[in-house]
Amino acid sequence: MRETTRAPGSERGTRGRHLTLALAGLLVLAGTPAAAAAPADPYGEAMAEASRLEAAGEFTAAADLLEPRLADYPQDYPILIQTAWLRFQAAEYGRAEALYRRAIELSGGAYEARLGLAWTRLRIGEREEAEERFTALLAESPEDPRAREGLRAATYRVPVITWPSAAATVQLYPYSGGITAAPGVAAGVPLLIRERVLLGLDYNFASFTSYPLSARGGNGNGNGGGGGGGSMDMTMTMDMNMDGSGAGAGTGSGAGAGAGAGAGAGAGAGAGPGAGPGHGPGPIAAGTPVLGDTTARRHAIYAHAGATWDRIGFTGHYGYIHDGGALVGNAHVAGLMLRYSPLGDLTLAASGSFYPDQAIPRIALAWAAPATRWLTITPAAALQVADRSPLAAGYLAATFHGRPGSLWIGGKYGRERRPVYLHVPTTFSVDGEIRWGLWGGGTINLPGRLHILLSYELHRIADLQGGDPGSAHLIALGLGWRSHGPTRQD
């Protein structure tokens, strides 16, 4: 926006103030002592000081100077439109919008106020609405360069926007007598074509190995019936949204190990189906993949496609998880995610995950509500059916985002079994029930549109057979890049 949206030269329309100034001028011309006692003009002084601050580039300070005086001059259009313009220059678009709307109401629809509101709505990201406003303005003034420039900006679409990322990941599953570790990698390449069509591909890999730290075996002679080890695959896509902010780490997937059916005090964990004479590393926490001397490798790939507009959007998702039968078995995931954005983003996600032993439908509703310009609060709830049982969980997260980067924290509580998170995307499967979880992380923006990410997650898992609860620790360190600035799908 190259020119101001003020109305320079407009009359202040305050008859009493003009009369006072005229009398003061007569006294000065007459040379009487009363001239020295002429009252100061706080309106003029404030406007002059605001102009000085504006010339110095101190737009917020200038607006802060004028805005308190709006109550003293509630019918004064010039000070109102000037304050709105200063808020716009300071990139305080929410406050600028409110002031421009007041100016439109006060002036009965003045052109300059409507032009300022059109530019403000454009900067907020409401392109369709801004396009309509600029079109109406050009119908009144076809040669206005400010409205023509605004219409070009509202209708322009960047051909391709992308924000690829890659991360090193580590998953840790402590159990009594040892630990299972799963180092891995994750990468994602989302695309936004002409700021309308959404495409994306995500891949992750993890290699699971158990490391016994002590030998605690049972002494029973029972026939071991231990199942194969499980896994958790953490797909990490750094969806860096929203003013450089990050969407955070995803959670993982896989299946926990079954315990041997020996009569000893410590139920053994078999190295594979039907293995184990009833002695092993001792009690195994729920969801812990214990693989003995073997290593299991797991690959997961996710794809999505959809479209986005200012107010609505949708994406379809598909995922394929391959472990060659060494862990939970190969699986398919499919889902649909819908967005509606009257204030913040309301999202509805429906998914189904299809395992060799069962299919699990799930539906989730979330609201990313902008509490302030820098803070987004996201409450969410989910309902699923697993093992023919309805399960529910609630979530709450907060994201702080700004020019240096972003921070996020969150937690969940309830009952989940093998949930699918389409927005990450990821699938989190364990042979247990997730009862609660905590997560946190952050990003730091670097030169060249780069950013680094660090995140940590903790998930507490209950054993469905009444055994000891287990924990999963997920850590990621990644690097991402963005070809352009934040866009609507963020």
- Residue 190 pLDDT exceeds 50: yes
Quote the tokens at residue 455: 């995140």
- How far is Cα 431 from Cα 48, in angstroms, rounded to an integer? 71
Q: What is the pLDDT of residue 486?
A: 56
As a whole number, mean pLDDT of residues 323-345 equals 90
* Count of residues in the chain: 490
- CATH 1.25.40.10 occupies which residues in the chain? 15-155
User: What's the start-to-end Cα distance of the chain, in Å?
Assistant: 24
The residue among 291 and 347 whose pLDDT is bigger is 347
Q: What is the pLDDT of residue 406?
A: 96
Residue 453 DSSP symbol: E
- CATH 2.40.128 occupies which residues in the chain? 161-481
- Residue 10 pLDDT exceeds 90: no
pLDDT tens per residue across span 280-299 = 333 455 566 666 556 888 89
pLDDT tens per residue across span 123-149 = 998 888 999 999 999 999 999 999 999
Peptide bond into 183 cis (omega under 30): no
Quote the tokens at residue 353: 């995950």
pLDDT tens per residue across span 429-484 = 667 899 999 999 999 999 999 999 999 999 999 887 777 788 999 999 999 999 87
Q: What is the pLDDT of residue 319?
A: 96
- Residue 272 pLDDT exceeds 50: no
- How far is Cα 480 from Cα 465, in angstroms, rounded to an integer? 42
Residue 71 DSSP symbol: G
pLDDT tens per residue across span 397-420 = 999 999 899 999 999 999 999 898
- Residue 12 pLDDT exceeds 60: no
The residue among 362 and 250 whose pLDDT is bigger is 362
Residue 66 DSSP symbol: H
The residue among 281 and 50 whose pLDDT is bigger is 50
Helix axes 127-140, 145-155, angle to 10 degrees: 150
The residue among 210 and 263 whose pLDDT is bigger is 210
- Residue 4 pLDDT exceeds 50: no
Residue with tokens 């994201």: 399
Q: What is the pLDDT of residue 210?
A: 83
As a whole number, mean pLDDT of residues 236-245 equals 32
% residues pLDDT > 70 (the chain): 73
- How far is Cα 365 from Cα 260, in angstroms, rounded to an integer? 40
Select the highest-mean-pLDDT range: 67-71, 337-341, 481-485.
Answer: 337-341
As a whole number, mean pLDDT of residues 385-406 equals 95
Q: What is the pLDDT of residue 48?
A: 93
CA neighbor of 425 nearest in space, from 352, 306, 297, 317: 317
> Within the chain, what is the greatest distance between any pair of CA atoms?
119
Q: What is the DSSP string of 239-290?
A: ---TTT-----------PPPPP--SSSS----SSTTB--S-SSS---TT---
Q: What is the pLDDT of residue 288?
A: 62
- The phi and psi torsions of 98 (rounded to 5 degrees) equal -60, -40
pLDDT tens per residue across span 162-183 = 999 999 999 998 877 778 899 9
% residues pLDDT > 90 (the chain): 58
Q: What is the pLDDT of residue 223?
A: 34
As a whole number, mean pLDDT of residues 225-244 equals 33
Query: What b-and-e string marks burial along 215-249, b requiring 16 or more CB atoms within 10 Å of the CB?
Result: ebbbebebebbbbbbbbbbbbbbbbbbbbbbbbbb
Q: What is the pLDDT of residue 125?
A: 85
Q: Are 201 and 188 in contact (CB under 8 A)?
A: yes
Q: What is the pLDDT of residue 201?
A: 97
Peptide bond into 68 cis (omega under 30): no
**CB-based burial label for 465 (10 Å; 0-12, 13-18, 19+):** exposed
Q: What is the pLDDT of residue 33?
A: 47
- Residue 236 pLDDT exceeds 80: no
As a whole number, mean pLDDT of residues 189-214 equals 90
Quote the tokens at residue 403: 């020019």
Q: What is the pLDDT of residue 120?
A: 97
As a whole number, mean pLDDT of residues 1-7 equals 43
**CATH fold group of domain 15-155:** 1.25.40
- How far is Cα 456 from Cα 236, in angstroms, rounded to an integer? 11
As a whole number, mean pLDDT of residues 310-333 equals 89
Q: Are 167 and 476 in contact (CB under 8 A)?
A: yes
- Residue 393 pLDDT exceeds 50: yes
The residue among 207 and 329 whose pLDDT is bigger is 207
151: CB partners within 8 A, 6+ apart? 131, 134, 135, 138
Q: What is the pLDDT of residue 208?
A: 87
As a whole number, mean pLDDT of residues 357-378 equals 95
**Which strand (E) or helix (H) includes residue 80?**
helix 77-89
Averaged pLDDT score across all residues of the chain: 79
pLDDT band at residue 219 using 50, 70 and 90 as cut-offs:
very low
CA neighbor of 192 nearest in space, from 488, 423, 478, 403: 488
CATH architecture group of domain 161-481:
Beta Barrel (2.40)
- How far is Cα 451 from Cα 143, in angstroms, rounded to an integer? 43
